[in-house]
Structure 1
Amino acid sequence: MDLLRSLPLGSYLEQPVTWLHYLDPRVKLVWLMSFLAAPLLANPYWRIALVVILILLTLSAAIPVRVWRQQMGWLLFLCVFVFIITCLAPDGLAVEHQPRLPLLETDFPQPTDYQYVLFDGGRVTITRRSLDLAVRVSTVIFTLIYSTTLYLLTTAPEEVTAGLENLLQPLKVFRLPITEITLTLTLSLRFIPLVLEEVQNLARSIRTRAINWKKLGLRKSFQIWLVVAERLLENLLLRAEQIAIAMDIRGFTTPERHQVKWHQLRLRWGDWLALASLVPFWWARVYFGS
């Protein structure tokens, strides 16, 4: 199993280049913050609409099927599983419903067809509250995770840090080390594939030795995994030291003496169009999502 290809964490799609790649990272970051903030205090219909919008963005960008299936497949399975579990779980209202007795012998017709219990199958009961909670939880999980994943999928780590550094420039008034923070973020994003590579190499080394875990027992198995974790930590520290030495040789001392332009930021007509589309988006959120 190739962890570098099977895990979508921190991955960036270099080819093919979609229209999402051409957008300025600052614009995409503003849209990401909008997707993260829009579900707050929103009704279930708006939350479902956000999921549909994210799926339509993925399809319109013509991202290859193998990529979005890898990125979205496991997440959809998780959200559907959470939806089913939340629907079948008790809604938390410990109230026993008892129908009101009529004053006369003839039953009065109900004014509406409202029913709190939507499905009652004995041990399986679905109420309006449990269904509403299931929609809220599953859609929030999908929106929060997939919007961030789509952002990282179509934005290079250097573009992410360049956009963040540009947007955080006003905080320099409070003497915050913005350049150091963005540089650390860049190195962290670049370090994720190295971590996965080390884990993959250790997993392959254990698998090639054909260890019989049943004969070893729990104690010896735990000792082996402890040695593997120690080796992993040692390899990661060695990689970090090599990166630090390489940066020191290339003159990375302080941000004032060695400034690096990670990405040339420039707003094009597509970026202005994306920013203008935020107005109808939030208008729909206020009038239809509340």
Structure 2
Amino acid sequence: MDLLRSLPIGSYLEQPVTWLHKIDPRVKLVWLMTFLIAPLLGNPLWRIGLAASLIVLTIVAGIPFRAWSKQMGWLLLLCLFMFLFACVAPDSLGAKPQPRVPEFCADVATVSSTAEKPSKQLECKSQLPQPTSYRYVYFDQPKFVFIPRLVVTRRSLDVAVRVSTLIFTLIYSTSLYLLTTAPEEITAGLEDLMSPLRRFNLPISEITLTLTLSLRFIPLVLEEVQNLVRSIRTRAIDWKKLGIRRSTQLWLIVSEKLLENLLLRAEQIATAMDVRGFTTPNEHRVQWHQLRLRWRDWLALGILIPFWCARWFVGGV
């Protein structure tokens, strides 16, 4: 089990350097916010298109298959489970509807054997004839032995598409941004975008420094979890003999050890910064990257105009 390789959450891919790496971090941050906001109040077709565009963008960018295959596979599996679960879930309250209109009755001419003229009778139907092919219930599987009744309605299908695509877009767009943008670039771009807030005496430098340390700390957390899992596997613990109580106690000990190791790592980072004479972010500012907008950045910003036009006319509400 290698969490750093199988699920590179928050990890930066240094090699190979793709064209997505070369885009300005501020432009990529704007596009990230676009992918997070665009699905809101969008129709199902638009949401599916956004999720598909992220997959196409990953392939077109030339990112190695090993860097995103397992993560996308697990994420697609999770979204598929959420889609199937929401499809068969009840879409409203479990109330039995009552008809609000009288039954559809039509005059039917009947011929009596004793009468010369045909008499008219009312033939009533429980449902009105539908003028279109509209159906609210797409699938209705009655209960069979241990299998419960499965009903897929128009509303439940719409909710399933919304939930699954929103989870995929939210998680994968953020992961793709972290995969192609260095932590120093992210903090430099955020500090540049939030620089007007200095007029309100907000600690922008402290916020960006905290964000940088947090992004650097994510791989350390995964590494500590990985080491603890490997240490438990090497001991070949028989969980069935331990029982629920002892297994819970063992996991509490492991969690306590994980927290202790993380606090030790944080203390080591603080000691290293203190030894190097670090006092405040304003006095120890290091310019890691020169933020300049190039032609590819202006092209990426220009694509935002037709994107939001398509969102307005195609995405719907």
Structure 1 length as normaliser, TM-score?
Answer: 0.94
Contact 1:180/1:255 (<8 A) preserved: yes
1:223-281 CA-to-partner distances (Å, cap 9, x unmatched) read: 33332222222221111111111111222211232112132211110000000000000
Contact 2:26/2:193 (<8 A) preserved: yes
**Secondary structure, aligned partner of 2:130:** coil
Question: Matched residues, percent identical?
Answer: 71
Contact 1:88/1:125 (<8 A) preserved: yes
Is 1:126 matched with 2:152?
yes
Contact 1:71/1:149 (<8 A) preserved: no
Deviation at 1:216, TM superposition (A): 3.0
1:115 matched to which residue of 2?
135
2:112 matched to which residue of 1?
none
Assess, with a 3 A threshold, how the Cα gap between structure 1 residues 97 and 27 changes in structure 2: closer, same or farther: farther
Deviation at 1:132, TM superposition (A): 0.9
Distance of 1:97 and 1:75 partners within structure 2? 42
**Secondary structure, aligned partner of 1:48:** helix
Dislocated runs of 4+, deviation >6 Å: none
Is 1:228 matched with 2:254?
yes
Deviation at 1:95, TM superposition (A): 5.0
Segments of 5+ residues of structure 2 without an aligned counterpart are 109-124, 143-148
Distance of 2:21 and 2:73 partners within structure 1? 22
**Structure with greater proportional helix content:** 1
1:173-224 CA-to-partner distances (Å, cap 9, x unmatched) read: 1111111111111111111111122222222222222233333333333333
Distance of 1:192 and 1:243 partners within structure 2? 14
2:217 matched to which residue of 1?
191
1:13-36 CA-to-partner distances (Å, cap 9, x unmatched) read: 112211110100000000000110
Q: Which structure ranks higher in relative contact order (CA pairs < 8 Å, sequence separation ≥ 6)?
A: 1
Assess, with a 3 A threshold, how the Cα gap between structure 1 residues 250 and 228 changes in structure 2: closer, same or farther: same
Distance of 1:100 and 1:75 partners within structure 2? 50
1:38 matched to which residue of 2?
38
1:17-61 CA-to-partner distances (Å, cap 9, x unmatched) read: 111101000000000001101111111111111112111111111
2:113 matched to which residue of 1?
none
Segments of 5+ residues of structure 1 without an aligned counterpart are none
Distance of 1:150 and 1:95 partners within structure 2? 46
Name which of 218, 227, 251 aligns with 2:244. 218
Distance of 1:105 and 1:62 partners within structure 2? 70
**Secondary structure, aligned partner of 1:103:** strand
**Secondary structure, aligned partner of 2:105:** coil
Name which of 287, 296, 309 aligns with 1:270. 296
Deviation at 1:135, TM superposition (A): 0.9
1:149-178 CA-to-partner distances (Å, cap 9, x unmatched) read: 111111111111111111111111111111
**Secondary structure, aligned partner of 1:277:** helix
Contact 1:8/1:70 (<8 A) preserved: no
Deviation at 1:130, TM superposition (A): 0.8
Contact 1:3/1:200 (<8 A) preserved: yes
Contact 2:6/2:71 (<8 A) preserved: no
Name which of 214, 228, 234 aligns with 1:208. 234
Distance of 1:100 and 1:161 partners within structure 2? 66
Query: 1:7-156 residue pairs with structure 2 within 5 A?
Result: 7-92=7-92, 94=95, 96=97, 101-105=103-107, 110-122=130-142, 123-156=149-182
Distance of 2:240 and 2:9 partners within structure 1? 32
Contact 1:79/1:139 (<8 A) preserved: yes
Structure 1 residues 152-161 or 226-235, which shifts more? 226-235
Bigger Rg over Cα: 2
AA aligned to 2:288 is W
How many residue pairs align between the two structures? 290
Aligned-residue CA RMSD in angstroms? 1.9
Contact 2:187/2:212 (<8 A) preserved: yes
2:114 matched to which residue of 1?
none
Contact 2:209/2:281 (<8 A) preserved: no
1:102-135 CA-to-partner distances (Å, cap 9, x unmatched) read: 3315787532111111112221111111111111
Deviation at 1:97, TM superposition (A): 6.9
**Secondary structure, aligned partner of 2:152:** strand
